Amino acid sequence: MRLFKLAILSLLTSAAQAEKLQLASEGFAANTLFPVLYACDGKSIAPPLNWINVPKNTVSLSLIVKDLTSSKPIYQWVIYDIPASISSIDESSGALPAQILQGKNSWNKTGYYGLCPPLGKLHVYEFSLYALDKKLNLPVGVDAQTLLQAMEGSVVQKATLTASYSRWPWAQ
């Protein structure tokens, strides 16, 4: 009987994990080196992103791309009010569907800023997708801190995708 209970618990745990929000990219794999194409050394275009298993009570999604290695918070991309019906963002130079709002990155620019660590330094970047139980209704161009504060208490689930990038002097 104990084995039966353990088997059922294992199945339920596996099913719950399968239902978790997941974030991926056709442009790069998780925990790998980030492609030059999407960095400041390349075309600095936003990578394609897609997600699955959005919780049923999700009203909107937000995405924040952050440099985890920097001593101060550096945000490469801030996006919010993504409708729950949308399950991907295409590779782009900044154009997103009109209903998706973009905030200001750490360079005080609205939109994506290609990953650009100091020469010779390897930095780790995290793409964080938040499923929210409400639409935030923030104006265009808020910064990451304002977005994070507005999301407090409304995050249903979070998915992350991490990659590393380095700019080597001999490659310049």
Residues 6+ apart with CB under 8 A from 85: none
What is the edge-to-edge ordering of all strands in the sheet holding 60-67? Answer: 32-33, 155-166, 122-132, 60-67, 74-83, 101-102
Integer CA distances (angstroms), 49 to 11, 25, 92, 113, 122, in order = 29, 5, 10, 15, 22
| Tens digit of pLDDT at every position of the chain (172 positions) | 444 333 343 433 444 555 899 999 999 999 999 999 999 999 999 999 999 999 999 999 999 999 999 999 999 999 999 999 999 999 986 778 889 999 999 999 999 999 999 999 999 999 999 999 999 999 999 999 999 999 999 999 999 999 999 997 655 4
The angle subtended at Cα 75 by Cα 170 and Cα 24, nearest 5°, is: 85
Residues 6+ apart with CB under 8 A from 15: none
All domains of the chain in start order, with CATH:
21-171 (3.90.280.10)
Residues 6+ apart with CB under 8 A from 43: 37, 93, 114
Measure CA of the first residue to CA of the last residue in the chain; give whole Å: 64
Residue 51 and residue 25: Cα distance in Å, rounded? 9
